[in-house]
Structure 1
Amino acid sequence: MGASEKSSSRPAMALPVLQAQRLYKQIAELLEQKIRSGAIAPRDYLPPERDLAQQMGVSRTSVREALIALEVKGLVTIRVGDGVQVCDPATVPPGPDLRAERSPIEQLDARCLIEGELAALAAKNATPEHIEKLERALETMRGSYPDSAAFLDADHAFHTAMGEASGNQVLIDQLEFLWALRYQATFQKFEEHYTNDPREQAAVLEDHRRIVDAIRGGDARQARAALHQHLKRVQKLFVK
């Protein structure tokens, strides 16, 4: 009997399914263990992001994403400009399973790649009807201001209209996938802390106006650049 036959005759071992984890999720798990074990007491403040990053040899961005994940689970309260206070884990119900969520920072990187090309293609392929739809979406955004939920829905409609103007259905499918991620809890918590501000909504409107103008002018390079500028500005707000 050969080695392959021997191995096939044995009962299969029960092995766990292993999942690759992003660094910020590993950091969140480590801090959660310390909070639940009592190593970090309720109502204590965690060290500043910079100190945590230095202690663990990671970036501040990864630490910030981890802290946001802990807040989504109810284990800390983030007070921007003040600090991160630990909640009593005994009073916190089981939090949401965040394993399927994706890094908000990586989402914005991916959107730059996909939507930048959608904007460039829209500048080449948009019809007058597409331009009119983009203008209507922009006007809806302006009318929903400063209602953050309505503004987000109108923002989604704007980017969808831009995708339709590109004429590339495969890229449009990727756009919709990325926008579904934007409605996940960690991304929305980032927005709550760092971009939920009327001044930011006004800046978004200006960004979108530049995108529409470039598409109307048929300038693919400028449309791509305007889209990149918009999303990179949002990303800087998340990690500043």
Structure 2
Amino acid sequence: MPLQSIEPRRLYRQIADQLRALISQGEFGAGAGARLPAERDLARQLGVSRPSVREALIALEVEGWVEVRTGSGVYVQDRAQRTAEPVAATEWGPLELIRARRVVEGETAALAATLGRRKDVDAMTRAIALMQDLADRNVMPLDGDRAFHLAIVDACDNAVLAETVQGFWDSRNGPIFTRLGGYFETVQSWRRAIAEHHAIRDAIAAQDAVGARAAMHEHMDKSHMRFSASWRRAKRAA
């Protein structure tokens, strides 16, 4: 059964469904331990981007269909020996989410630079300090990151934007984003993100809307790059 091209509509779910069917039919080899084609080859055959394929593979790993072995490849998993974690059909793909956040949060940063007050900048500064403290203790600074992005949108004084950004950020708690983060998020990568947060805060404090938007775009672009890095650069998930 040849791979079929995919329509650009919630891509990672469509890709995962097609790969799941092919695995069930033994298209990649017989049984557990069969190796799937490389991410770039799957993307080419499906006519989609590599990030979309990555999201699909992570979804399949969460569901117990495959195992990602960093530095080696993606292999069919023996489902009888692993408890699968269900992935809601409505869950957003992490990389697609980051691109959406770039659009929305670029504008909230610009608005914060225009509308924000001293107390808002102080809240951002406290959030960065919390991130730094957690990173210094080798703890992933998720609480500080959430506080930082919510402080920015709070400065916009718009409940719809605030709920939207909170929904974006809280989606990080989903199983796909959590699993992907387990491969690519480290204290070192978070230290780079903290420096990006400083640049955003500084632009907002200077009431530089153009600079704040650009700094947020750069942060989201680099976040996307970190999650899209070669599997050889990934750490082994716990």
Whether the 8 Å contact between 1:70 and 1:76 is mirrored in structure 2 is yes
- Residue 59 of structure 1 deviates from its aligned partner by 2.4
Corresponding letter in the other structure for 1:221? V
Going from structure 1 to structure 2, the CA distance change for 1:92 and 1:38 (only over 3 Å counts) comes to farther
Report the equivalent of 1:67: 57
Q: Any idea what the Cα deviations from partners look like across 1:165-211, whole Å, max 9, x if unmatched?
A: 222222112111111222111112221112x1222111111000001
- Residue 115 of structure 1 deviates from its aligned partner by 1.0
Match of residue 14, structure 2, among 7, 12, 26: 26
Q: Which has the larger radius of gyration?
A: 1
Whether the 8 Å contact between 1:123 and 1:217 is mirrored in structure 2 is yes
Corresponding letter in the other structure for 1:112? R
Report the equivalent of 1:147: 139
Q: Distance in 1 between matches of 2:190 and 2:83?
A: 34
- Residue 91 of structure 1 deviates from its aligned partner by 2.6
**Runs of 4+ with >4 A deviation:** none
Corresponding letter in the other structure for 1:237? R
- Residue 127 of structure 1 deviates from its aligned partner by 1.4
Corresponding letter in the other structure for 2:98? L
Q: Distance in 1 between matches of 2:202 and 2:83?
A: 49
Q: Any idea what the Cα deviations from partners look like across 1:96-123, whole Å, max 9, x if unmatched?
A: 0331111212211211111111111111
Q: Distance in 2 between matches of 1:141 and 1:205?
A: 7
- Residue 38 of structure 1 deviates from its aligned partner by 4.4
Map 1:203-218 → 2, pairs under 5 A: 203-218=192-207
Report the equivalent of 1:220: 209
Q: Please report the TM-score for the alignment, with normalisation by the length of structure 1.
A: 0.84
- Between 173-182 and 222-231, the greater mean CA deviation after superposition: 173-182
Alpha-carbon RMSD: 1.8
Report the equivalent of 1:5: none
- For the residue of structure 2 that corresponds to 1:84, the secondary structure is strand
- Residue 37 of structure 1 deviates from its aligned partner by 4.4
Q: Any idea what the Cα deviations from partners look like across 1:69-117, whole Å, max 9, x if unmatched?
A: 1111122121222211221123334540331111212211211111111
Whether the 8 Å contact between 1:77 and 1:84 is mirrored in structure 2 is yes
Is residue 54 of structure 2 the alignment partner of residue 86 of structure 1? no
Whether the 8 Å contact between 2:62 and 2:87 is mirrored in structure 1 is no
**% identical equivalent positions:** 39
Report the equivalent of 1:186: 176
Whether the 8 Å contact between 2:62 and 2:84 is mirrored in structure 1 is no
Q: Please report the TM-score for the alignment, with normalisation by the length of structure 2.
A: 0.85
Q: Distance in 1 between matches of 2:128 and 2:198?
A: 8
Report the equivalent of 1:4: none
Report the equivalent of 1:49: 39
